[in-house]
Amino acid sequence: MALQDLDSFLKPRSIAIIGASTDVDSINGRPLKYLLEKRYPGSVYPVNPKYESILGVKCYPDILSVPEVPDLALIAVNARVAIRVLRDCKQRGVKNCIVFSSGFAEAGNEEMQLELDKIAGTPGMRICGPNCQGMINLFDSVFGTFSAAAGPEHLRLGPAAFVSQSGALGFSTFNMAQERGVGFGYVVTTGNQVDVEVAEVAHHILQDDRVSVAICYVEGVKNIENLRALARASRQGGKPLCVLKVGKSTAGRKAAMSHTAALTGSAEVFDAFARQENVVLLDDIEEVIDAAAAFGPGKLASGRGIGIITSSGGAGILMADRCEERGLVVPELPPETQDLIRKYIPAFGSARNPVDLTAQVVNEATQFRICLDALLERPELDVIIVVMTMIIGQSGDQVAADVIDASAKTSKPIVVCWTIGPETGPMVGRLARAGVPVFTSPAACARTVARLVSYSERKRVLDSREERKSRARTAVQRAQASPSQAAAAPQTAAVSQANALSPATGDPVPQAQSLLAAGQPLTEYQAKSLLRAYGIPTTREEVATSADEAVSIAREIGFPVAMKISSQDILHKTEAGAIRLRLSDERQVKQAFKEVMENSRRHAPSARLDGVLVQEMVVGGTEVIVGANSDPQFGPVVMYGLGGIFVEVLKDVSLRVAPVELDEALDMIKETRAYPVLLGARGRPRADIEALAQAIVDVSRFADAYAGVLRELDINPLVVLPEGKGVKVVDALMVPKQPQ
């Protein structure tokens, strides 16, 4: 569905409540109560054959009797009745329905779910739910929910949007945020997502100029393309996307199935997708509120430098510790700034950073603003954290007023950590209403600032990449528009980069599709021939069917050589005793041929043996693993890791959703803990990291090109030679998907 199809869902001009009740504290009664109390500007139509009117509003026996076609119908009846009601809504031409009812797939009722699926699959009507708690749009006073969280008379409005599969969690988090003074403009819950899903709603909401950050609670991704589109819209619009993804544990995955019938997918792949797209990952509902507070003002950090100003030396040290643990930098201030600050603090304070004003701020509140401004002027400080303890009364009010004023005048993020109880209520409320993020825990404050900084850094990187690609595309277009000029002039760097970053076009490996479509594992020789045709360097090799032929091939390649069984039925050659390395003469080659064939027959008597693969021995270099597999939700995923213990024991690998570009491949390499090995640890030569990155790119494009037929690709090892000498595939396993 197009994005504009959700306008009438989020901003309906008229709402029908099917199953409306006179009991205003029930699921059926609250929606009408809220719409009336909150002064919803549109028309409201209660529907229930039991009543003539509810709360003074005329009631209708069914949706077909309502005098106009409502934009939105809230369905608050049991599951079996809901199916009939939805059919009536379809007949009436209702554009959107929110189904509060439960008892479908999440309860194991597949028959009812199939009926619901049939209705949702027809065009013209969008369905949110079932098993959800609806939505609110505070900007436009739309209350399509029964949640008690919507009940308070005064609700805090803010620039954040929260879209959640879980209704209860979504609205309870909204309620907690209200208590902290953090506002949301939208809260939408999608339940079982028979039709409308989280990513689609968040994508639409991000188009609203009143929203600066979208936060999602996700159990399972129904449509991966919607998620990609959401991440892309977030990047292009410069509005952060934060996601609390659950269902990562075995128990969590089972619970998600019973909760919203969600397929939760691979946690590792989801995390990789988030890194790739600069999606901010959250771990708890408190962090949802923290993210709304920190990202809501729309200020980003230009670096990792943190300035800390505090009323307590201990609190300042604690904050500095938590910041540095998160990879942030707390630099000592230059002498001239320290000299300025010392004029306004007691001798037992500190001007270094953290700046310790001491409890004297109670008596001399004006000194706080002077010191705060001094920190804001320092170019090496990108975020200022104000840490207050028992500063209350007039002094506390002055500190809050100074922070609000300073925050309004600077582009740098200012966040506050005020470690005190209820006494700070008025001050915290003032700060929150002014859009200043406020925390009570130093750890939560540092964690959230680190996320803001990391998001800002990644955004700059991705924006720079997009700009380079745009310039490269422009250069290519200009060259294509003037062929004679392009032929006369040397290829520019921009054009070269554009070509390097462009996906492979056509099918450079015509035999790949037919080989993989057969559904049988490929031999190493077949797999490497496909990779080689795709531009990925492999060892020189040939299959020998006799000992004499093996000797002839070895002579041509040059000693030393390696020999392995070539068979679709023996994929793990070491276990079969079917591999021999570092063979340096003809006698060893003949003996190896005999042993490899005999061991293979003994290991797998019925196996088809093509012969023995004779290949060059690659000497030196660093062994790494590059692979790809097919994720049920995200499709082809590429993996990189150093070989040996780094993969098997330390699990030191990085993942990305294919295809990846060169810059992204370099990120994959750098984010592993073993990256220093490639740089030349302990006197080793620096590895050809650029060639490795290109190989990752090519593998990812291969996996993407043959996503429909490729299940698994494992290059182990890929040897990375010293800088300037490239890489070589030494062994490769390629397993296709089974034909349907």
E strand residue ranges, 267-390: 280-282, 306-310, 355-356, 383-388
Place of tokens 């062929």: 483
- Asked which of 73-77, 463-467, 727-731 is least confident by mean pLDDT, the reply is 463-467
Q: What is the pLDDT of residue 264?
A: 38
- The count of other CB atoms within 10 Å of the CB of residue 324 is 13
Q: What is the pLDDT of residue 403?
A: 96
Residue 91 — pLDDT band, cuts 50, 70, 90?
A: very high
- Asked which of 130-144, 295-309, 480-494, 578-592 is least confident by mean pLDDT, the reply is 480-494
| pLDDT tens sequence across 302-333 | 999 999 999 999 999 999 999 999 999 999 99
Q: What is the pLDDT of residue 250?
A: 52
Residue 53 — pLDDT band, cuts 50, 70, 90?
A: very high
Query: What's the mean pLDDT when you consider all of the chain?
Result: 90
Residue 661: strand, helix, or coil:
coil
Q: What is the pLDDT of residue 257?
A: 41
Q: Residue 233: pLDDT above 90?
A: yes
| pLDDT tens sequence across 9-29 | 999 999 999 999 999 999 999
Q: Please indicate whether residue 688 or residue 501 has the higher confidence score (pLDDT).
A: 688
Q: Residue 496: pLDDT above 80?
A: no
Q: Residue 488: pLDDT above 60?
A: no
Residue 426 — pLDDT band, cuts 50, 70, 90?
A: confident
Task: Kindly state the average pLDDT of the residues 374-396.
Answer: 93
Q: What is the pLDDT of residue 494?
A: 36
Q: Is 490 exposed, middle or buried (0-12, 13-18, 19+ CB in 10 A)?
A: exposed
Q: Residue 627: pLDDT above 50?
A: yes
Q: What is the pLDDT of residue 329?
A: 98
Q: Residue 423: pLDDT above 60?
A: no
Q: What is the pLDDT of residue 39?
A: 96
Total-model pTM: 0.88
Residues 6+ apart with CB under 8 A from 14: 42, 43, 44, 45, 68, 69, 70, 71, 72
Strands 561-566 and 96-99, how do they pair? unpaired
Burial 365-380 (b: 16+ CB within 10 A, else e): bebbbebbebbbebee
Highest mean pLDDT among 218-227, 531-540, 642-651: 531-540
For the record, the structure tokens of 325 come out as 């643990």
Q: Residue 255: pLDDT above 60?
A: no
- Asked which of 375-389, 517-531, 582-596 is least confident by mean pLDDT, the reply is 517-531
Tell me the CA distances in angstroms from 128 to 97, 460, 577, one per residue in order.
6, 36, 58
Burial 227-263 (b: 16+ CB within 10 A, else e): bbebbebbbebebbbbbbbbbbeeebbebbbebbbbe
Place of tokens 């008597």: 605
Q: What is the pLDDT of residue 490?
A: 46
Q: What is the pLDDT of residue 248?
A: 67
Q: Please indicate whether residue 266 or residue 79 has the higher confidence score (pLDDT).
A: 79
Q: What is the pLDDT of residue 500?
A: 36
Residue spans of alpha helices (H) in 326-441: 335-342, 366-376, 393-409, 425-433
Q: What is the pLDDT of residue 448?
A: 98
| pLDDT tens sequence across 537-563 | 999 999 999 999 999 999 999 999 999
Helix then strand count (H, E) for the chain reads 26, 29
Strand order in 14-18's β-sheet? 43-47, 14-18, 72-75, 96-99, 126-128
For the record, the structure tokens of 693 come out as 């990155």
Q: What is the pLDDT of residue 252?
A: 40
Q: What is the pLDDT of residue 515?
A: 83
- Asked which of 283-287, 291-295, 512-516, 621-625 is least confident by mean pLDDT, the reply is 512-516
Q: What is the pLDDT of residue 111?
A: 84
Place of tokens 């060059």: 616
Q: What is the pLDDT of residue 505?
A: 41
Q: Residue 610: pLDDT above 50?
A: yes
Q: What is the pLDDT of residue 425?
A: 65
Task: Kindly state the average pLDDT of the residues 603-626.
Answer: 95
Q: What is the pLDDT of residue 604?
A: 95
Residue 428 — pLDDT band, cuts 50, 70, 90?
A: confident
Give the residue from 566, 672, 688 showing the smallest Cα distance to 618: 688
Q: What is the pLDDT of residue 471?
A: 87
Strands 727-729 and 142-145, how do they pair? unpaired
- Asked which of 47-61, 403-417, 490-504, 572-586 is least confident by mean pLDDT, the reply is 490-504
| pLDDT tens sequence across 180-210 | 889 999 999 999 999 999 999 999 999 999 9
